[in-house]
Amino acid sequence: MLLPGGTIGILGGGQLGRMTAMAAARLGYRTHVFAAEHDAPAAQVASAATIAPFGDAAAIARFAAAVDVATFEFENIPGAAVRRVAAKRPVSPRPEILEITQDRLREKNFLREIGVATTDYHEITDPDALAEAARKLGVPAVLKTVRLGYDGKGQVLITADTRPDGAWRQMGGTLGILEGFVDFRCEISVVLARGADGAVAVYPPVENRHVNHILDTTIAPARLPAEILAEAEAVARQIAERLDLVGVLAVEMFVTKSGALLVNELAPRPHNSGHWTIDACMTSQFEQLVRAICGLPLGSTERHADAVMNNLIGRDVERWREALDDPQAKLHLYGKNRVRPGRKMGHITRLLPRS
């Protein structure tokens, strides 16, 4: 167990690391952020920071020596960097989980192996393989880069008119996956925490609306029949157990028009669709992560309010003042000075009476 006063290392400098560092500080921990860029959102609020590329082995070694335990806040950290830290200090979730979830093929193969339903998919190695897979799967279908995609980057919708070579180039990856397009009723996610002792704390499934493939709105809890919600929770628990996860896991799912659940992707870290838990639950997803990786008991996931979370993306952030005038709204800004289209700048959580 790492007691308050100890130092938690966070690989990655984004808003998820920032909110984790803030939760850690409240429990009396210090944080040390490893980020690739100066003035990273997480580094601004951490006790210490190392700013270096993830491939800098000497910087990684210094970071590992300075922390008691470590975690990561985004998927695209090179597996080698995480393994270097894990050779010296406990890293949770364990590095192999990161390596599974940073590779869409490994992730879907894992889900298939444990009997969790996903949309049909094929590995794509070149434009010819794409053409053949599109024939087998039917169109529309979604071509995604296997690695390094996020917020819809590296995704191309394949229709009957698509030219395979153009789509392959547009995807921009070296290896792809073609997925059957899901004409879903809605998208949901389940966020849970799991401790080293195997204890699990699940938040209620939430409904997610995306705009341009980027999360725009989360409605908590999801407004779906109780059986679907219970099944979603059970699937998320099963995945966490089979991964032997210690930390926080988000499971993104499609709810089909017939009410079936198809898992879309996994994130072994706090998730954008769990930000509402900061303001509406007894214990936030970030505090759960701190508790889990430090070996403390998990907190209650009970919510004292329902909530609607809206991301402030790109120039949306200019509307931040509106939230201050709304007595039910809580404003969160991530300390990013440069506004770019599609960049997550902050979010607003509006609280509603508990249903």
Q: Which listed option, Mg ion, ligand ADP, none, makes contact with residue 150 (CB within 5 to 8 Å by class)?
A: ligand ADP
**Dihedral-angle region of residue 198 (phi above 0 means left; psi in -120 to 50 means alpha; beta otherwise):** left
Identify which of residues 68 and 265 has a Cβ nearer to ligand ADP in the complex: 265
Q: Which listed option, Mg ion, ligand ADP, none, makes contact with residue 306 (CB within 5 to 8 Å by class)?
A: none
CB of 339 to ligand ADP, least distance (A): 20
CB of 214 to ligand ADP, least distance (A): 8
Local structure of residue 103 (DSSP, 8 states): B
CB of 282 to Mg ion, least distance (A): 27
Rounded Cα distance, 219 and 217, in Å: 7
Q: Which listed option, Mg ion, ligand ADP, none, makes contact with residue 151 (CB within 5 to 8 Å by class)?
A: ligand ADP
Q: Which listed option, ligand ADP, Mg ion, none, makes contact with residue 279 (CB within 5 to 8 Å by class)?
A: none
Identify which of residues 265 and 306 has a Cβ nearer to Mg ion in the complex: 265
Q: Which listed option, ligand ADP, Mg ion, none, makes contact with residue 182 (CB within 5 to 8 Å by class)?
A: ligand ADP
Identify which of residues 150 and 318 has a Cβ nearer to ligand ADP in the complex: 150
Binding site for Mg ion (CB under 5 A): 265
CB of 157 to ligand ADP, least distance (A): 9
CB of 340 to Mg ion, least distance (A): 19
Asked if residues 261 and 231 have their Cβ atoms less than 8 Å apart, the reply is yes
Rounded Cα distance, 315 and 141, in Å: 31
CB of 297 to ligand ADP, least distance (A): 31
For residue 327, the tally of other CB atoms under 10 A from its CB is: 7
Rounded Cα distance, 351 and 355, in Å: 11
Q: Which listed option, Mg ion, ligand ADP, none, makes contact with residue 354 (CB within 5 to 8 Å by class)?
A: none
Q: Which listed option, Mg ion, ligand ADP, none, makes contact with residue 179 (CB within 5 to 8 Å by class)?
A: ligand ADP
β 30-35/7-11 pair status:
parallel
Q: Which listed option, Mg ion, ligand ADP, none, makes contact with residue 311 (CB within 5 to 8 Å by class)?
A: none
Structure tokens at 278: 């900061």
Which run of H or E residues covers position 289? helix 285-294
CB of 119 to Mg ion, least distance (A): 13
Identify which of residues 181 and 320 has a Cβ nearer to ligand ADP in the complex: 181
Listed in sequence order, the residues at least 6 apart from 338 whose beta carbon sits closer than 8 Å to its beta carbon are none
Rounded Cα distance, 50 and 175, in Å: 32
Identify which of residues 29 and 254 has a Cβ nearer to Mg ion in the complex: 254
Asked if residues 42 and 12 have their Cβ atoms less than 8 Å apart, the reply is yes
Which run of H or E residues covers position 307? strand 306-313
CB of 141 to ligand ADP, least distance (A): 7
* Amino acid type, 278: I
Asked if residues 291 and 195 have their Cβ atoms less than 8 Å apart, the reply is yes
Instruction: Look at residues 133, 117, 109, 57 and name the one whose alpha carbon lies nearest to residue 88.
Output: 57
Binding site for ligand ADP (CB under 6 A): 119, 142, 149-152, 179, 181-182, 187, 210, 213, 252, 264-265
Identify which of residues 217 and 328 has a Cβ nearer to ligand ADP in the complex: 217
Identify which of residues 103 and 265 has a Cβ nearer to Mg ion in the complex: 265
CB of 264 to ligand ADP, least distance (A): 5
Q: Which listed option, Mg ion, ligand ADP, none, makes contact with residue 149 (CB within 5 to 8 Å by class)?
A: ligand ADP
Identify which of residues 20 and 218 has a Cβ nearer to ligand ADP in the complex: 218
DSSP output for 158-201: E-TT--HHHHHHHH--SSEEEEEPP--SEEEEEEEEE-TTS-EE
Identify which of residues 90 and 149 has a Cβ nearer to ligand ADP in the complex: 149
Listed in sequence order, the residues at least 6 apart from 96 whose beta carbon sits closer than 8 Å to its beta carbon are none
Cα-to-chain-centroid distance, residue 155? 17
